[in-house]
Amino acid sequence: MRILLVEDDESLASGLLLALRRAGYTVEHVQDGAAAVRALTDNHFDLVILDLGLPRLDGTEVLAALRRGGSAIPVLVLSARDAVRDRIGALDLGADDYLVKPFDLDELLARLRVLERRRVGLPVNRLRLGELELDLAALSVRWQGKPVELQLREFMLLKRLAEHPHKVFHRNELEESIYGWGDGVASNAIDVYVHHLRKKISPRIVETVRGMGYRIGQADVADAETAEPAAPADTAP
């Protein structure tokens, strides 16, 4: 999931960037409200973490502009404004959640997982497709009931594909999902990660759609989802 962090406190932002990236998120950071509006206009994000007390343009104005433009992107407000009227005001403007500073990092991550589950329609932190199971909280994978050791970006790529099992992703979409603005991206990076996933899980776990991109392996998913139960044993004497 690609997140835009809008926070003017450099120390707090630095810590959040590190923690969120370790938790498997791709995160971009801007420090003022005007920059946030530009970033949201020019780029695709899956979620926004938004401070309210921002220079140049207050966070409430950013939120209002976002909703006036018809965007339904989830917004988690992270603010030192702890009055009930501030929380109600932000929620009525269209915020999806509101967390008061100072906050516990684990609680922030849990709230992000809730918004993430809601975005893709999951009731719990587990994503199952056939014999593939992803634990979104533990960043772990099981295939045919057995654990699979993946590097963080391998997990991020697999998760992105599995969240939308019928979508074909272009290479640049996948790069944006797992790399930030400042990251150097090798021209064959996605190919390398796909190769690793096929080697570690199954040769069919990621399907190449010629001339278009990649999607989660339809055959493996379908095999497990449509398999008929075995016929009962003949117990006749």
Q: Are 131 and 185 in contact (CB under 8 A)?
A: no
**pLDDT for residue 106:** 96
HEC assignment per residue over 157-223:
HHHHHHHCCCCCECHHHHHHHHCCCCCCCCCCHHHHHHHHHHHHCCCCCEEEECCCEEEECHHHHHH
Q: Residue 199 — φ and ψ, nearest 5°?
A: -75, -40
Between CA 38 and CA 174, with CA 67 as vertex, the angle to 5 degrees is: 55
Computed over every residue of the chain, the mean pLDDT equals 89
Residue 236 reports pLDDT greater than 70: no
- CA 160 vs CA 81, 109, 170, 215: distances in Å: 34, 18, 12, 9
pLDDT reported for residue 221 = 59
Q: Are 124 and 117 in contact (CB under 8 A)?
A: yes
Q: Give the pLDDT mean for 12-24.
A: 95
160, 168 Cβ separation under 8 angstroms: no
The pLDDT of residue 123: 86
| pLDDT average, residue stretch 132-142 | 95
**Banded model confidence at residue 235, pLDDT cuts 50, 70, 90:** very low
State the pLDDT confidence band at 71, using cuts at 50, 70 and 90.
very high
| Residue 17: per-residue pLDDT | 96
- Residue 230: pLDDT band (50, 70, 90) is very low
**Contacts for 8-17 with beta carbons within 8 Å, 24 or more apart?**
8/32, 8/51, 8/53, 8/54, 8/55, 9/51, 12/101, 16/49
Identity of residue 20: L
What's the CA gap between 202 and 221, in Å, rounded? 11
Say what the pLDDT of residue 228 is: 38
Provide the pLDDT confidence category of residue 231 given band limits of 50, 70 and 90: very low
Condensed to tens digits (0 to 9), the pLDDT of residues 73-124 reads 999 999 999 999 999 999 999 999 999 999 999 999 999 999 999 988 888 8
Position 220 scores a pLDDT of 58
pLDDT score, position 223: 47
Domains of the chain: 2-120 (3.40.50.2300), 126-226 (1.10.10.10)
Q: Give tens-digit pLDDT for 154-173.
A: 999 999 999 998 899 999 89
237 pLDDT band (50/70/90 cuts)?
Answer: very low
Q: Name the amino acid, one letter, at 224.
A: A
